[in-house]
Homo-oligomer: A and B are copies of this chain.
């Protein structure tokens, strides 16, 4: 399958683009490129003038903000199906955070001018984009809540639960999606704290940790430990 066809198929698989005219998408796909990149590749920096937005096909892209002295705050970590950089069209055409590949990654790079045009001319598209924006907003609200009222171990528990299929019952094995250092910063803590908090979670809830694999007999122990300190009940669906 050629690259353009692959891009077109991807677009058609995303709810946001399903409301677009196929001809429009074909043109868009013609102006897009699939990119394979290694960890560390910078997609864009905060305040850069936006030329493109991105759709992640596989792997992980981290969004972060950075102070002058180099301290980073992870804003979010995106993966398959997520859009990156699209909000620049509402911010005078500049990116509001930096984006970098966190783990070997394939993504589509698309011209940003398409977005602004489509949002203005296709109200279904605007509505779909609003929905995805609203979902994101809800997620960020939850994130603030988590960081305010959950301790480190509870946040880890909550993170693990969001990796479990909510319909699943009985014993589960989940795999951490990226390295522990990154999970730590995603959850707003230091790697050392993560390591210790995970041990604590182990003794409290009886989960078993084998490298990046985490086994448990069921979600109940985690749920009762983590979700008690949260306004949302399991399944939390914090997105991602």
Contact = CB atoms under 8 A, between A and B. Distances in A.
A130 B128 CA distance: 10
A239 interface: no
A42 interface: no
Given A119-B130, A231-B46, A96 B138 contact: yes
A71 B146 CA distance: 12
> What is the copy number of this chain in the assembly?
2
B126 A130 contact: yes
Interface stretch (A62-70, A159-167, A171-179): A62-70
A134 B133 contact: yes
Contacts of A90: 130-131, 134-135
Contact of A145 (B75, B126, B129): B75
A143 interface: yes
A135 to B, nearest CB: 7
Interface residues of A, number: 47
Contacts of A127: 119-120, 126
A67 B147 contact: no
B119 A65 contact: no
**Most chain-B CB neighbours within 10 Å: which of A137, A138, A231?**
A231
A231 B67 contact: yes
A73 interface: yes
Contact of A144 (B67, B131, B147): B147
Given A127-B120, A130-B119, A133-B134, A141 B96 contact: yes
Interface string A215-240: 00000000000001111100000000
Contacts of A75: 141, 144-145
A69 B230 CA distance: 9
7 contacts: A65-B232, A66-B231, A73-B145, A74-B148, A90-B135, A120-B124, A137-B140
